[in-house]
Structure 1
Amino acid sequence: MSDKAERRAAREVVAAYHEAVGELVARVGEAVDRYRAGELDAFDVDRVLFQYSRASKELWKYCNFGPVEIVAEVIRAQPPGDWWERGAPRQPS
Structure 2
Amino acid sequence: MGTKSERRAAREKVAAYHEARLAELVERVGEAVDRHRAGELDAFEVDEVIHQYHRAARKLWTFCELSGSHAEITAHTIQRVADEGETIDWWQRGEARRR
Q: TM-score, normalised by structure 1?
A: 0.88
3-state DSSP class of the match of 2:15?
A: helix
Task: Provide the aligned C-alpha RMSD in A.
Answer: 1.8
Q: TM-score, normalised by structure 2?
A: 0.83
Sequence identity, in percent?
A: 57
The runs of at least 4 aligned residues of structure 1 exceeding 4 Å deviation read none
Matched residue, 2:4: 4
On the 8 A contact 2:11/2:66 being kept in 1, the answer is no
Letter in 2 for 1:3: T
Structure 2 counterpart of 1:75, from 75, 78, 88: 78
5+ residue gaps, structure 2, are none
Post-superposition Cα deviations, 1:2-61, rounded to whole Å, max 9, x if no partner, equal: 822101110121012112000000000000011111111000000000000000000000
User: After the TM superposition, which of the residue ranges 9-18 and 64-73 deviates more from structure 2?
Assistant: 64-73
Number of residue pairs the alignment of both structures matches = 91
Give distance in 2, aligned partners of 1:89 and 1:34: 21
